[in-house]
Amino acid sequence: MEFRFDITKIFKENISRIGNSLLPNGFIASDRRCALDTTAYVAEIINTVGQASAAAQGLNHPVTTSDRLRNSDDQVIYLMTENNGRSGLVLGLLKIGRKSLYVFDQNGDTRHVNAPCVLDFYIHELRQRAGLGKVLFEYMLEQENFTPEELAIDRPSEKLLSFLRKHYGLSTKIPQMNNFVIFDGFFGSQKSARDLHRTSQTYVTTSPNSILFGPQYLNAENKRRQSHVRSNHDLPLGNNQINGRYGAPRPQCSLNQIIHNKETSVEAEPTRKLMNDTTADIIKSFVEQTDNLSVSEKNVQDTKQEVDEPSDLITSPISSSQHDVKFSDDRNLVDSFASDNYNYNESSFETFDTQHEGDHVDSNKFRYNKRQTGKKNVSSIVVGSDEKIEFNQISDDGFGVVKINRPFGVPASYRTHEHSYDNDSVHSRDSENTHTADGFFDLKFYSHPLW
Ligand SMILES: CC(=O)SCCNC(=O)CCNC(=O)[C@H](O)C(C)(C)COP(=O)(O)OP(=O)(O)OC[C@H]1O[C@@H](n2cnc3c(N)ncnc32)[C@H](O)[C@@H]1OP(=O)(O)O
């Protein structure tokens, strides 16, 4: 293979080792310009021979390019040249490099190895079967201090398999799931054993993953995790479990205990009770201080009694049988609540002011805030005995003014021939007309309980 430039000035030896500098080993450049020119020439040679190799193997894309070599840390090309008395000839190349591979051994166990690999091998068609391949291969083995059996071969051609069988007696392959071929003796050599990943150990054969995806590699980290999981399972289920990344003691889930109707043993319970006592006392003192008794003392007393009962802390007032469902659709009522200095966030529940004008709400109604119900866009909720939660949109929430048609206390399903009180669908104030001046319909907004 000839080139437009004199390669004998670049390659002084018949076989040259080229790394990612793209300069042959031992090459001395007279100046920086010379070095740059040389790398350009070498890049051209590598690309040309790489393409010839790909064509010889029937590949669509070359395995060997100058860019790949330049960007690689551990790949090396051995280039065979010949001085023909003119500009020289390139006869072939052999590319090797280390790869981190998961391979099966003779027992079908997976091993993680960082193995030296034959990545590309080519001798010009006019010079094949003349022993040049063996010369090049032998030189590489000597330089790298490798033995043939410790090499993994990347998708070898039939010619290369025949070559390896003839010259090195490598015929017994260890079946693999990937494109690499390894031979008997791959794991036997001292060096390949050294190259095995230090933490390579045994395999999980009983796990469903092993059945689906083959044997699994177990390294030290996985083993540590497995033993950690086992040791966690062995722990008795007490109140304090050592869990989580910091290994901090964590109380057992009180929600779980509530769901399964178990006695709660969470220490936070008395604290919560104390807080509720305090809250009730605050409400009581507030009521006493103000002349306008918006909350009767009896209600406060009732509130405190219920707080004193631990079961009431767990049982939501929703399931209580003593309260009725009512609607607080009245804007005045809501405004008055805001002005009555009720603490919406801190108390577990609040009593309604029964003295308000136009208020249809009976005494002992619980008011839930957004945090307690988990419902967004819900400004107020009244719950009672039939375990329903009704919610009322009482203010615009950033997408236009929402219009509520249903009067206070009327169920959504109630209709007369004059009125339809269905307020499930609401629309913006600007949507009164069916279309705008531009002829486009306005957007309609539909309220949904989950908003
Ligand atoms: C990981 C990879 O790189 S896979 C790709 C390997 N490369 C190729 O297939 C490209 C085309 N082939 C070649 O370039 C060369 O044939 C090589 C590199 C495989 C071998 O180089 P050669 O100089 O021919 O090897 P060498 O002369 O030392 O050994 C000859 C032996 O190689 C094998 N061999 C070489 N050419 C052929 C061939 N066309 N058909 C079958 N076996 C062949 C034979 O075992 C042969 O021994 P034999 O002549 O007694 O049958």
CA atoms within 13 A on the CB side of 375: 17
DSSP string, 90-133: EEEEEEEEEEEEEEE-TTS-EEEEEEEEEEEEEE-GGGTTSSHH
pLDDT in the model for residue 190: 46
Alpha-carbon distance 214 to 187, whole Å?
20
- Cα(219)–Cα(439) distance, rounded to whole angstroms? 69
The parent domain of residue 295 ranges over 265-315
Closest CA to 216 of 362, 318, 112: 112
**Torsion sign across C-alpha atoms 355, 358, 362, 368:** negative
Q: How many residues does the chain have?
A: 451
Give phi and psi for 266, each to the nearest 5.
Answer: -75, 135
**Ligand 1 center from residue 119 Cα (angstroms):** 15
Cβ–Cβ under 8 Å, residues 229 and 242: no
**Residue 437: inside a domain, yes or no?**
yes
Does some domain include residue 381?
yes
Q: Whose CA is nearest to atom 19 of ligand 1?
A: 160
Indicate whether 291 and 346 sit together in one domain: no
Mutate which of 51, 129, 138 for ligand 1 pocket (most atoms within 8 A of beta carbon): 129
Q: What is the pLDDT of residue 77?
A: 97
Element (H, E) at 379: none
- Spatial distance between the Cα atoms of 114 and 119, rounded to a whole number of angstroms: 14
Distance CA 446, CA 153 (A): 66
- Please, what is the Cα angle at 59 between 55 and 60, to 5 degrees? 100
CB of 320 closer than 8 Å to CB of 309:
no
Q: Which of 166, 173, 15, 155 is nearest to 82 (CA)?
A: 15
Q: How far is the CA of 192 from the centre of ligand 1 (A)?
A: 26
Q: Which residues contact 108 (CB under 8 A, 6 or more apart)?
A: 215
**Residue 93 and residue 180 in one domain:** yes
For atom 49 of ligand 1, which residue has the closest CA? 129
Domain boundary among 178, 195, 212: 195
Task: Answer yes or no: do 278 and 418 share one domain.
Answer: no
Q: Are residues 55 and 126 in the same domain?
A: yes
Cα separation of 20 and 76, whole Å? 7
Between the CA of 178 and the centroid of ligand 1 the distance, in Å, is 23
Q: How many domains does the chain have?
A: 3
Q: Are 329 and 268 in contact (CB under 8 A)?
A: no
Cα 47 to Cα 43, 95, 127, 293, distances in angstroms? 6, 13, 20, 93
Alpha helices in 145-267 (DSSP H): 158-168, 190-195, 208-213, 220-234, 254-259
Look at the block and give the residue holding tokens 């469902």.
325
**Distance from residue 120's CA to the centre of ligand 1 (Å):** 12
Instruction: Give the Cα separation of 323 and 413 in Å (integer).
Output: 21
In a domain, 222, yes or no: no
Q: Give the C-alpha distances (Å, rounded to integers) separating 406 from 267, 335, 352, 429.
A: 46, 19, 21, 16
Q: Which ligand 1 atom minimizes the distance to the CA of 118?
A: 1
The answer on 189 and 60 residing in a single domain is yes
209 part of a folded domain: no
Task: Look at residues 195, 221, 246 and tell me which one is the last residue of a structural domain.
Answer: 195
Q: What is the DSSP-derived secondary structure letter of residue 319? A: G
Among 177, 195, 213, the domain boundary falls at 195
* Token pair in block for residue 28: 């001395």
Residue closest via CA to ligand 1's atom 31 equals 163
20, 46 contact by CB (below 8 A): no
162 marked as binding residue: yes
Distance 158 CA to ligand 1 centre (A): 8
Give me the residue label for tokens 């090309």: 77
pLDDT under 70: residue ranges of the chain: 189-254, 261-280, 282-451
Contact (Cβ atoms closer than 8 angstroms) between residue 239 and residue 251: yes
Count H helices and E strands in the chain, helices first. Answer: 13, 17
Interval between CA 18 and ligand 1 midpoint (Å): 22
Q: Are residues 304 and 367 in the same domain?
A: no
- The residue nearest atom 37 of ligand 1, judged by CA position, is 159
Residue 327 marked in a binding site: no
Rg (CA), the chain: 41
What one-character DSSP code corresponds to residue 215?
-
**Which atom of ligand 1 lies nearest, measured to the CA of 133?**
23
Half-sphere exposure of 427 (CA within 13 A, CB side): 9
Biggest alpha carbon distance in the chain?
A: 118
384-442: pLDDT as tens digits: 444 444 444 444 444 444 444 555 565 655 555 555 554 444 444 444 444 445 544 44
68 contacts 20 by C-beta, under 8 angstroms: no
Substitution candidate for ligand 1 out of 163, 165, 178, 180 with most atoms within 8 A of CB: 163
Looking at the CA of residue 165, tell me the nearest atom of ligand 1.
45
User: Do 153 and 297 lie in a common domain?
Assistant: no
> Under DSSP, is residue 294 helix (H, G, I), strand (E, B) or coil?
coil
> What per-residue confidence (pLDDT) applies to 418?
57
> Quick one: pLDDT at residue 88?
95
| Same-domain status, 188 and 284 | no
Which residues fall within 8 angstroms of residue 449, CB to CB, at 6 or more apart? 375, 391
CA atoms of 62 and 67, how far apart (whole Å): 11
Q: Any binding-site annotation on 23?
A: no
Q: Tell me, yes or no, whether 334 and 289 share the same domain.
A: no
* Tokens 């029964």 -> residue: 354
Are 344 and 429 members of one domain?
yes
Domain contains 249: no
Nearest alpha carbon to residue 116 among 71, 148, 162: 148
Give me the DSSP letters along 24-76.
BTT---SSHHHHHHHHHHHHHHHHHHHHHHHHHHT-SS-S--HHHHHT-SS-E
Q: Which residues line ligand 1 (CB under 6 A)?
A: 56-57, 118, 120-123, 128-134, 153-154, 156-157, 159-160, 162-163, 166
- Residue 142 Cα to ligand 1 middle (Å): 20
Q: Give yes or no for a contact between 75 and 97, defined as CB atoms under 8 angstroms apart.
A: yes
Answer yes or no: is 399 a known binding residue: no
Residue 111 lies in a domain: yes
Query: Does residue 184 share a domain with residue 76?
Result: yes
pLDDT for 188 equals: 79
